[in-house]
Structure 1
Amino acid sequence: MTTTYTNPVWPEVFADPFVLRHEGVYYAYGTGPGGADGRQVPVLRSTDMVNWESLGHALVPAAGMDADQGYHFWAPEVAAHEGRFYMYYSSGNAREGTDQKLRVAVAEHPAGPFVDTGKILVPDQPFSIDAHPFRDQEGQWWLFYCVDFLELSHDERTGTGIVVDRLLDMTTLAGEARTVVRPHQDWHVFRKGRTMYGNVYDWHTVEGASVLYHDGHYYCFYSGGAWEKENYGVSYVVAKHAEGPYRRPEGGHEALLMRTPSSGELLGPGHNSFTVSPSGSETWIVYHAWDPGQTARRMCIDRVDWVDGKPVTPGPTWTAQQAPT
C-alpha cells in the first residue's frame, strides 16, 4: 500500500488534468501530445491516485480533424450518465486561424474510444474552451465553459471569462448562458497589449472551471492569469444555486486556494479538477504545474480541507506527502 507521494504523480506532459472516478477506478484525461494512431487525449488509470498507468489515447477525432493538419485538442472532461461517458473538449485549427470550439464525444467505457458526435456545442461563439460538466443536487446537468468578453463592465476586465448553461441532454445546451465570473483583478492579467479581434487589449483571463458543492453552496473554482507564467493560480466564487448568481469572497486580490510558491519549486499551478480518495472520505485537487525550468506541465495532487467554511490546501507541494486514504 502506498503511504506517501511526491508531486508530480505522472512524469510526462499532462496539462489540464481531469479525473473521473468510476467503480473504484480513477481515469485521468489531459491536454498532451496525440498518439501515433491518430487518437488524441492521453488517458491514465489508477486505483490509488498515486500510481498511474497509461492507457494510450481516448479520443477519435471527427473526420478531417487530424493533429498533423494543425488541429489542437484542449482540456477534456468526462461525465458519466446512464451507462455512457461523454467527453467535452475544445478543438480548432491553428494553421487556418480557426478559433477553438467546444465539442462532445461519446464512449461506452471511461477509457474510450470516445467518438466525436459531430456537434459544436456553442456555434455562435468564435472562441469557447474549458468545458466542465456538473450535476447539481437536484440532478440537473450544467456545462460551465469559457468565452471572450470585449466590453468593460463595472470592475470587470476585457478577456476570457466563465459562463454556465443548462444541458437539455448530454449533447445539447439550452442556449441560456449566464456569466459566472469574469476577470476582475490585476493578477488575472494574461498579456498586456494583446491583439485580439482586430483591436489591442490588456487581456485578462479566468478559465478552467471546476465546481464543488459544500455545505449548501456551489463553489466554482477557476484558474486566473497567464497559463505559462508565475501569476497563474486557483481561486473561486460562490453561489447558492449552480446557475448562480456567483459572488466573490473577500481577499480575491490574490489567488485564494493555490498559487506559485515563493520558493519557485513549482510554477503556475492550476486548471484543476476534484475527486475523492479511495475511501471517499477526503477531497483531492488534481492540477498541473510547471517544473522550474518550464519544460512541461505535469499532473499533481493535493488534499483539500474546509476550515471555517473556506477551502484550504497545502498545495502546491513538491515534497513527500501523506497519500490519499
Structure 2
Amino acid sequence: MRRALSLALAAALAAVLLLTGAAPASAAHHLTEGTSVNLIAQHSQKCADVISGSSADGAQVGQYDCNSGLNQLWQIDDLGNGYVRLAARNSGKCLDVSGASTADGAAVIQWSCSSGTNQQWKIENTAGNTRLIARHSGKCLEVPGASTANGTRLRQQACGTGTNQRWELNLVSNPAIPGLFADPNIVRFGDTYYLYATTDGFAGWSGTQFRVFSSKDLVNWTDHGVILDVAADIAWADNSAWAPGIAEKNGKYYFYFSAGLASGDTRKHLGVAVADSPTGPFRDALGKPLVSAGAYTGQAIDPMVFTDTGGQSYLYWGQGASHQVPLNADMVSFNSSQVRTYNPTNYNEGSFVVKRGSTYYFMWSENDTRSEDYRVAYATGTSPTGPWGPRMGLILQKDLAQGIKGTGHHSVVQVPGTDQWYIAYHRFAIPNGDGTHRETMIDRLYFNTDGTIRPVVPTLEGIEPL
C-alpha cells in the first residue's frame, strides 16, 4: 500500500521541504511514501552521506559535499505513527543508531531495515528549526562539534539549539509509484483508477512481469502485485514484457502487451490476455500473438486501446509507424483491411488517443527512450483513426533546470464529469537514471480555450490528491 504521509509528518514536511523546482512549497503537503530527499546540515550545507557508497550493514554515515550520488539520497518510509524510516537509495538500508544505544555520541550508521525504534525518526519542525529525533532515545541527529569538514561522522546527541542539529530536507524526486516503472497506462474503471506499467531496471528491457496499482485519488496507490508473467503464463514469449494497455468490455478486462523471446527470433509481438477483474490474474486469450512481428511495418510494440463514446474500441500500436484499427466485438481480433497506418513528423512510438468534445487527439513519443530528449507530441482529427492533421507541437519534454530527462511514453485520463485531465509518463529515474532505469510520474494536463493542449510543466513532486 502506498500511503499519504501522516498528518503530523505532512505538516512538518510542508514547513521544511525545499522544492528544487518551480512548484510552490504549499504543494509539499501531498508528498507520499517513497519520496526521496537529501538531508542537508544547516550549519555546513553538506549532505548526509553513506561513506564510500557502501552497501554493507554497519557502514558509517557522515557529511559530505552534496552531489547526485544515491548514497546521499534517502527515501522516506512513513510508518503512520508520526515516525519515518530513512532508507539510503544506494543500498536500501536504513538510517540507524548503532546498537540501539541511548548514549550521547552513539554512532549513526546504515543497517538492514527492521521494525527497531532505533531506525525510527521524528521529523520535528519548531519555529523553523527542523530536527531528526531518534524514537528509541529521544536524541537528535547531529554533526559532532559543528564541524564543516567532509567525512565527519554523524551521531546522536541530546537535543539542543545548535544548527548542527538542524536539517533541510531537499526534495529530489517523488514518483507516483515507488520503484522503477515505465510506459504507464492509466485508466479508470468504475470509481477507481488503475495504473499498468512496464517493470523497469533490466538490461535490454528484458523484464517479464507486469504489475498493476489502484487508487481512488491518483496519489495513494495500492500495489496488487504481478498480474501477468510472460515467462510463466505465455507460451509464445518469455521475455521483454513491455508497454501494456487495457480495456473493459462486457465485464471482461482485456490486457494488451508486447513481448518476445530471450533467444532465437528476438522480434516483438503483440499479445492479449483476459481476466474477470482489472487486477487479474490474466490468462492468454489466444494462445498466439494478436499481431505477429513483421505483419506490419515497424516493431509490433506499444499497444493502446481507445473506446469511443458509442462503445466501439480501437487498437493502436507500432514503433516506426502507428497502426490503428477498430477492434471486433470480441476484443481479440480485427479486420486487417481496416488497418490505417500513419507516420507523422518525428513519430517513434507510444501512440495514445483521447477525445474531448468532438475532437480526437492523437499523441505519440518522439526520439529514443534512451535519450534525454524523449518527448510527447500530438495532432488532431475528427475520427478515432484519423485522418490526422499536422503535428501541432509538444505536450511534454525534459526540464534540465529540475534534472528531469527522458519524459515520454505517456497516457492520459480524465476525471469523469469534469474537464480535469492528468498525464502519466515515465522519465529517467532521479538521480542517475537512464533509458532502462525510469520512474513513473503523474502531472496535470490542461487544454487551452481554442482546444490546443498547453505544454505540460513536469514537476518533481507530482499532483495533489483528487
TM range (shorter): 0.7 to 0.9
What displacement does 1:247 show?
1.0
| Structure with the largest fraction of helix | 2
Residue identity (%): 33
Q: TM-score, normalised by structure 2?
A: 0.56
What displacement does 1:101 show?
0.3
1:81-120 C-alpha deviation (Å, 9 max, x unpaired) = 1100000001101422321100100000000001012132
1:315 equivalent in structure 2: 457
Q: Given the alignment of the two structures, is residue 257 of structure 1 paired with residue 395 of structure 2, yes or no?
A: yes
What displacement does 1:66 show?
6.5
Shift of the 109–171 alpha-carbon distance from structure 1 to 2, 3 Å rule, reads: same
**SS of aligned partner of 2:395:** coil
Q: More relative contact order in 1 or in 2 (CA 8 Å, sep 6+)?
A: 1
Q: Aligned ranges for residues 261-300 of structure 1 at < 5 Å?
A: 261-277=399-415, 280-290=418-428, 291-294=430-433, 296-300=437-441
1:138 equivalent in structure 2: 310
1:234 equivalent in structure 2: 376
> Which whole-Å CA distance do the structure 1 matches of 2:235 and 2:445 have between them?
42
| Structure with the largest fraction of strand | 1
> Which whole-Å CA distance do the structure 1 matches of 2:453 and 2:465 have between them?
17
Shift of the 29–142 alpha-carbon distance from structure 1 to 2, 3 Å rule, reads: same
What displacement does 1:25 show?
1.5
CA contact (8 A) 1:86 1:105 kept: yes
Q: Given the alignment of the two structures, is residue 121 of structure 1 paired with residue 262 of structure 2, yes or no?
A: no
Letter in 2 for 1:119: K
Unaligned runs of 5+ residues in structure 2 are 6-28, 32-172, 202-206
Letter in 2 for 1:259: Q
1:190-235 C-alpha deviation (Å, 9 max, x unpaired) = xxxxxxxxxxxxxxx5211111112311101111101011111011
CA RMSD of aligned residues (A): 2.5
Shift of the 140–279 alpha-carbon distance from structure 1 to 2, 3 Å rule, reads: closer
**SS of aligned partner of 2:310:** coil
2:123 equivalent in structure 1: none
CA contact (8 A) 1:130 1:146 kept: yes
2:188 equivalent in structure 1: 21
Q: Choose 1 or 2 for highest CA Rg.
A: 2
Shift of the 230–269 alpha-carbon distance from structure 1 to 2, 3 Å rule, reads: same
Q: TM-score, normalised by structure 1?
A: 0.79
Unaligned runs of 5+ residues in structure 1 are 148-159, 189-204
Q: Which of structure 1's runs of 4+ aligned residues deviate more than 6 A?
A: none
Moved more, 207-216 or 308-317: 308-317
What displacement does 1:315 show?
2.7
2:210 equivalent in structure 1: 41
CA contact (8 A) 1:183 1:224 kept: no
Letter in 2 for 1:225: N
Shift of the 314–145 alpha-carbon distance from structure 1 to 2, 3 Å rule, reads: closer
Specify which of 347, 353, 360 is matched with residue 218 of structure 1: 360
CA contact (8 A) 1:277 1:324 kept: no
**SS of aligned partner of 2:175:** coil
CA contact (8 A) 2:406 2:427 kept: yes
